[in-house]
Amino acid sequence: MRSVQQDLSGKVAVVTGAGRGLGKAIVDVLAARGAHVVVNDLTLEPAEQAAAEVRTRGESASAVAFDVADPHKVNDAFAKIRTDHGRVDILINNAGIGDFVSFPDISPEKWDRMLDIHLKGSFNCCQAVLAGMKQQGYGKIVNISSVAGKRGDFIGNAHYTAAKAGIIGLTKSLALYAAPFGINVNAVAPGLFATELTDGMSSEMKATTISRIPAGRLGRPEEIGRATAFLVSEDASYIFGETLSVNGGSYMD
């Protein structure tokens, strides 16, 4: 039984990039705690599949497709969400891409696309919900960063690292602005988790990474789901602008 402080019944949550991986795990936990979850992905099929799985458990979810990097599509999508559901209480900016590449191999196109999806995408979605959250005097925003945004990434991936570090800065700045309106803005910084994204790593790269994790294993997606659900619950009502590390001890602030 969930506590009253963890109960999200009646809340409308939007999770971007949630057709699979960590985003889907976040959807599952929020829905299990009573929220109606709007599942976003770039295309409708994975979003609808994730939402359908939620509904088979007797919980509430719907699907929407849009590219978080396109501000016009973002604004249109959130306007429709508000029309359909009346409000947006919770926003989880999870949409992202992986690209395991060393610094000399980062092309301008790779750099731009990485920052467009991770950093600009988070900014676009925050702007799209902010006015409504201010009006209702309530909102919870969690931006998904990464351990790479705190320590750098020993694999390389400078474009990914820069985008994730930028998300931490965005989180702090928006938290300072939004706190007086009753809006909590925080971030989560995952380490390496067992998702489809890690399938792109070689076995050698994965083994090297795991050897640097004191917990001795990859994270389980539901562990990010629970950490994110904590930050949008009333248990975290006095937390603003923080980045919660969930990394098995691989980086400690």
pLDDT (tens digit per residue) in 102-138:
899 999 999 999 999 999 999 999 999 999 999 999 9
Domain span holding position 86: 4-246
* Number of separate domains in the chain: 1
The encoded tokens of residue 243 equal 């980045």
Of the candidates 186, 232, 222, 182, the one whose C-alpha atom is nearest the C-alpha of residue 5 is: 232
Residue whose entry in the numeric block shows the structure tokens 């016009």: 72
The answer to whether position 251 is within a domain reads no
Residue 199 lies in a domain: yes
pLDDT of residue 230: 98
Just list the catalytic residues.
Answer: 160
pTM given for the model? 0.94
> How confident is the model at residue 43, as a pLDDT?
97
Q: Which residues of the chain have pLDDT under 70?
A: 1-4, 154-156, 197, 200
Tokens encoding 174: 């928006």
Burial class (CB in 10 A: 0-12, 13-18, 19+), 70: middle
d(CA 201, CA 164) in angstroms, rounded, equals 19
Res 173: pLDDT: 98
Query: 48 CB contacts (<8 Å, ≥6 apart)?
Result: 39, 63
CATH number at residue 199: 3.40.50.720
Q: Is 252 part of any domain? A: no
218, two tokens: 């990859």
